[in-house]
């Protein structure tokens, strides 16, 4: 199946590892030129080399912090200068720490909003106007299943990511007449370092073994296993393709059936 991504320019943030790296790799496999963003330069450059070795595609690594407005502006300018106008934006960022209401500080709320809400809003403001002018664009916000079905112990993620769904839906409606499609994807449990880190935080708080918590999360997934990053990336790649030209304003859970609601 030709997804029509050859020659497209994609900007993927949070792409040095995990789901972001898998998305960037899949887009490169499909022929897109990819700019990848993350904070840690060494990890980012290793990720870029990994993608190029696997796909022979052109990859531009851009070390930056998406919670910094100046970094976002600089990154978008660099991509446009080096690769051309941005056709695809995948706004992805790591999650906040595991906390409860009793343990969460106001500074932690602010940091979570910066990371998981405002960073995506800034990226949209930097990329979407050009897409609307050219009358073609794809925007994907990577949120979490916590945006639809709050997860115990993830108060910060539950709060910030639900707000992003509201922003994404509004943006999708406004941009639809200009053929700029905006969708959100909600990952459930995947075999990533982020999942292990969260389990370790919860294990320390509750005095339980990490392995016990990781096993418990699988029991709540109808498919009986956690997902692999490449499975998530495949869905995202379809959504940004020409094949998904009538899909916008959707919040699509990729969770092995874990979210129990029907909406």
- For residue 41, pLDDT over 90 is answered with yes
How many residues are present in the chain? 263
Q: Which of 52-56, 132-136, 198-202, 229-233 has the lowest mean pLDDT?
A: 198-202
Residues 178, 206 within the same domain = no
Kindly state whether residues 174 and 217 are assigned to the same domain.
no
The answer to whether residue 259 is domain-embedded is: no
216 has a pLDDT exceeding 80: no
How does pLDDT run across 76-94, given as a tens digit for each residue? Answer: 999 999 999 999 999 999 8
Checking if the pLDDT of 248 tops 90, the result is yes
In a domain? residue 124 = yes
Nearest CA to 240 among 164, 141, 121?
141
How many domains is the chain built from? 2
The CATH number of the domain holding residue 71 is 3.40.50.720
Angle made by CA atoms 214, 215, 219, in degrees to the nearest 5? 120
Q: Is residue 258 part of a domain?
A: no
* 255 assigned to some structural domain: no
Kindly state whether residues 113 and 202 are assigned to the same domain: no
Domain encompassing residue 198: 191-226
- Sequence-ordered alpha helix ranges (H) in the chain: 18-29, 41-55, 69-83, 106-113, 119-134, 155-175, 193-206, 210-219, 229-239
**pLDDT tens, position by position, 128-149:** 999 999 999 999 999 999 999 9
- Quick one: 29 and 52 in the same domain? yes
> Do residue 68 and residue 145 come from a single domain?
yes
Q: What are phi and psi of 90, to 5 degrees?
A: -115, 105
Does any domain span residue 153? Answer: yes
């Amino acid at each position: 199946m030709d997804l029509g991504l050859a020659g497209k320019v994609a900007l993927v943030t949070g792409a040095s590892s995990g789901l972001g790296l898998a998305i960037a790799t899949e887009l490169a496999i499909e022929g897109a030129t990819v700019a990848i963003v993350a904070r840690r330069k060494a990890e980012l450059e290793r990720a870029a080399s990994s993608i190029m070795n696997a796909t022979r595609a052109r990859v531009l690594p851009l070390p930056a912090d998406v919670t910094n407005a100046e970094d976002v502006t600089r990154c978008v300018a660099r991509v446009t200068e080096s690769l051309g106008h941005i056709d695809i934006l995948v706004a992805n960022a790591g999650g906040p720490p595991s906390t409860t209401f009793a343990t969460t500080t106001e500074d932690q709320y602010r940091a979570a909003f910066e990371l998981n809400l405002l960073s995506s809003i800034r990226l949209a403001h930097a990329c979407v106007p050009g897409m609307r002018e050219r009358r073609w664009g794809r925007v994907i916000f990577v949120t979490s299943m916590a945006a639809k079905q709050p997860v115990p112990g993830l108060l910060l993620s539950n709060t910030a990511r639900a707000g992003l769904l509201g922003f994404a839906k509004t943006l999708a409606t406004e941009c639809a007449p200009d053929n700029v499609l905006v969708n959100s994807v909600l990952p459930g449990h995947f075999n990533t370092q982020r999942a292990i880190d969260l389990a370790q935080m919860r294990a320390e708080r509750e005095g339980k073994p990490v392995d016990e918590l990781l096993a418990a999360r699988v029991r709540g997934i109808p498919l009986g296993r956690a997902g692999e990053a490449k499975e998530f990336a495949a869905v995202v790649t379809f959504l940004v393709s020409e094949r998904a030209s009538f899909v916008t304003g959707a919040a699509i859970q990729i969770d092995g059936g874990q979210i129990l609601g029907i909406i």
